[in-house]
Chains A and B, each alone.
Chain A
Amino acid sequence: MTPRKTPLQAFGFHLRNLGIFLLLLAPVFTYILANNAYTNSLVARNGPYVHFNGLDPSSEAYVTWETPDPEATSLSLGTTPGALAPHVTNATPVTLHRVKLQGLTPDTVYHYQASNGRTGSFKTAPLVTRDFSIGLFSDSQQLWGIGHYEVISSLIAADRDIAFVSCVGDIAQEPDVQPYWNLFWQQSEPWFPRVPFVPVIGNHDIDYANATGSRYYKYFGFSYDNGPYNNTFYYTFNWSHVQFVIAEISTTGTITGNGDIDITLHDTWLNETLANGQDKAFRIVMFHRNLMTSTTTDQRLVDRITPIAERYNVSLVIFGHNHHYERLLYNDVRYLCLGGGGGMQDGAFRIIPECEALNVGPSYTRLTFSADRIHGNTISERGDAIDTFTLVKDGSRVVLLGGGA
């Protein structure tokens, strides 16, 4: 007697179909596992890289690098590549080496060689008005090592004459998983030796329950050693005629009760800092968490931050968190969301009235500052123009001159 078929069997479905289905997905699983295995195999041999969290980039900088085994620290420094003089030596063996450089001359190219044998250079900030460009991306985080940050890194490497590069938060996928950070540093090697890095703290970079155990703290430290804003990650600096304000808005839009940072203190600092920067031609505020985009809007953050941006004539507010590129206009202030830096891109959109330009996929943004204008150019992995715009100084504010790709 023929056994009675179940409806699924009658439809032609057998357990082997499930097997075939899984077999067909095998290339995807292999791709994921291979990337994850590669990421986990990376050794913490990172840097050196230059950063200036909490310092004055016209005269100070940190040079940081990491070695897999504890070693002594030494750094040679000079303004001519062939004539570097020993700058600092510390015999205490450590794995994370950080040298603070002080007394540097503004607008000068410095060359260095770290004790791990690697060399690099950077240029200090000018004190006078001078044209310069910066490179920007956000959300380079790569889960299981999968993502397109390497493409962004090659775009930065191909971009010449940029003063510094900033990742507007979510540098790595997890704040306490070392391989993810190794991946970021090692994929950044094409550009690290010649461009300083301006980090912005993101929600994936910090675990506030264990802030000093997070890799963001390990690699950049707190911005201030003393004073009212001690043990915080927000900082500010001036580069030529532009004030850059790196705020710490990474986790939430609530005022209290989340155990992250003292938001009242943060916003006091933000107001004070921007008030002090009114003599600058442009004020750029950068932080990680998105205010409004065509994927999500955090109304609490909109209510908290946009009045400050408007009050202090902020020229441009830059954030990430949402994984796509978007340019927005809200109450005469322009906002950029730069989430095309490496993590998986957003899937669904509902375009908000504030949206001026939108894109999904790898994107890298270059801002060029001249005396009276900011020119923005966002490009794809092929170098195609995704968005271009020019903001022209109009009194203490800026207005859009032209836009569109």
Chain B
Amino acid sequence: MTGPVPGLFFVGHLYAHVIAFLFFTGIIAGHGWAEKARDPAIRYTCPAVVGLRAFLFICATTLGLLFLDTVYKQLVLGVFGYGNVMHWLGMVVLLATIGIEFIVAAAFVAPTRKALVTFGAVVATFTYLMQFHFPAATDVDLERAMLLVLGACIVVGVTVQGILAAAHGIYIKVATSRRVESRRDTPLWDIQHAFKRAFSFKANLVLWVLLLVEFVLSFEGWGLLAWLSLDAFLGAVAGIAGGILTFALLSRWRANRKLVDELRGQLGRRA
């Protein structure tokens, strides 16, 4: 445990959780009707829609970074110590899950070069403000600083995305006018189907319910995992991990056995 580190600036699990709950509620509300949420093959062409989507993804990236920062500072740096870890562990696990989902959805599902550069700019802005600027500043209004971090990341993301889109648009125009073949900014890879399987609507609904329960419990002084002792929690995690490992080994063993049986059969026929 590092303990309190002078200058360390961070948003605690409670505020991060409230922000996550509200943003996630918006996602769930929009999930059923956003056509692309149901069918990843759909491509939006309306510039306003493409722009709005990019804006929402930049917001999601920023929030994802904020949640993972909270997870890092509480779970790894141990700013609150680990004496009452079970009080906030449930919230931190949820923040980690949602943070990863937001960042992967925003930047790594089917990223174009523009999207990756924008992501890099947002990460750089976030890191500079959270790790260097506010820790070193004097007389900081913390709530305002938190809003400033979110606002600055979104503004930087939108600006970089806008500049890149404009530059690419000009490049295509020039290339077209010169009758030269232009390179489109197509996705570098596409894992939409796998992502949708992992974070399906049902999975998101479960996450939302967990966020809601944790939201209410936190105001009552409790948490999702506060009912468990650390030993019981670690035991359950070890049990689940052991179960998964056993299942994987058994599957492997059964597959090998099947293979051996097939080989035996083939060899028997040849003989």
Contact = CB atoms under 8 A, between A and B. Distances in A.
Contacts of A344: 14, 219
A10 B81 contact: no
Interface in A376-405: 379-382, 384-387, 404-405
A351 B5 contact: yes
Contacts of B79: 349, 351, 358
Nearest to A342: B221
B4 A357 contact: yes
Contacts of B140: 350
Nearest to A16: B33
Contacts of B10: 348-349
Given A7-B46, A7-B52, A353 B142 contact: no
Interface string B48-60: 1100110000000
Interface string A35-74: 0000000000000000000000000000000000000000
Contact of B219 (A8, A148, A347, A357): A148
B145 interface: yes
Contacts of B8: 349-351
A21 B29 contact: yes
Interface in B27-68: 28-30, 32-37, 44, 46, 48-49, 52-53
Contacts of B28: 20, 24
Nearest to B88: A361
B9 interface: yes
Contact of B226 (A150, A294, A381): A381
A350 to B, nearest CB: 4
- What is the size category of the interface that chain B forms with chain A? 35 or more
B15 A405 contact: no
A295 interface: yes
B162 interface: no
A221 interface: no
Contacts of A348: 9-12, 15, 142-143, 145-146
Contacts of B220: 148, 150-151
Given A347-B11, A347-B143, A360 B80 contact: yes
B216 interface: yes
Nearest to B1: A404
B84 A359 contact: yes
Interface string B1-31: 0011111111111110000000001101110
A387 B52 CA distance: 47
Contacts of A362: 87, 221
A350 B134 contact: yes
Nearest to A31: B216
Contacts of A358: 4, 79-81
A27 B11 CA distance: 25
B222 A350 contact: no
B84 A24 contact: no
A218 interface: no
Interface string B218-237: 01111000100000000000
B212 interface: yes
B49 A360 contact: no
Interface in B91-144: 134-135, 140, 142-143
Given A151-B220, A381-B222, A17 B14 contact: no
A355 B4 contact: yes
A330 interface: no
Contacts of B52: 7-8, 11
A121 to B, nearest CB: 28
A147 interface: yes
B86 interface: yes
9 contacts: A7-B46, A147-B221, A348-B10, A348-B12, A349-B9, A358-B81, A361-B88, A362-B221, A386-B81
Given A358-B79, A361-B84, 10 more contacts: A10-B44, A12-B30, A12-B37, A27-B216, A347-B146, A348-B12, A359-B80, A359-B84, A381-B226, A405-B84
Interface of A: 7-8, 10-14, 16-18, 20-21, 24-25, 27-28, 31, 146-148, 150-152, 294-296, 342, 344-353, 355-362, 379-382, 384-387, 404-405
